């Protein structure tokens, strides 16, 4: 089983689209990571994984992680979809948090429960 991070491999390549992601055989992956870039497309991809997970046996479910590095409001819609969410210091500060502990506590309502 592998992992997959559908995002930029090189700066001159286009973003992965939901249509591109339809070609991915989800049974081959245990963890898929998204770097917040084109959030609307990424939400479609994540939705596909969530749908897959809803019918897969627990041991075959895919862990979803998201990274929100840029201070762009559209990316914040990714918060509730990650099993694991990475947030940059800049994003945390822009949301009013002065330290990592405050960010973890303050962002808790935005993320998936569990």
**1 contact partners, CB below 8 Å, separation of at least 6:** 28, 29, 30
Q: State residue 7's pLDDT score.
A: 56
- Rounded to an integer, the average pLDDT of 96-110 is 95
pLDDT, mean over the chain: 92
The domain segmentation of the chain, as residue ranges, is 28-110
pLDDT in tens, 16-68: 999 999 999 999 999 999 999 999 999 999 999 999 999 999 999 999 999 99
DSSP 95: T
Using alpha carbons, list the distances in angstroms from residue 59 to 17, 31, 54, 56. Answer: 27, 12, 12, 8
Q: Which candidate, 19, 26, 63, places its Cα nearest to that of 41?
A: 19
pTM listed for this prediction: 0.86
């Amino acid at each position: 089983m592998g992992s997959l991070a559908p995002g930029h491999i090189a700066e001159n390549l286009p973003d992965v689209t939901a249509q591109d992601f339809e070609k991915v055989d989800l049974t081959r992956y245990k963890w898929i990571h998204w770097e917040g870039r084109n959030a609307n497309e990424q939400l479609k991809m994540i939705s596909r994984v969530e749908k897959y997970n809803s019918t897969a046996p627990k041991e075959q479910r895919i862990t979803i992680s998201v990274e929100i590095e840029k201070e762009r409001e559209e990316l914040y819609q990714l918060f509730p979809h990650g099993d694991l969410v990475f947030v940059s210091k800049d994003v945390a500060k822009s949301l009013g948090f002065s330290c990592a502990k405050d960010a973890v506590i303050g962002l808790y309502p935005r993320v998936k429960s569990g």
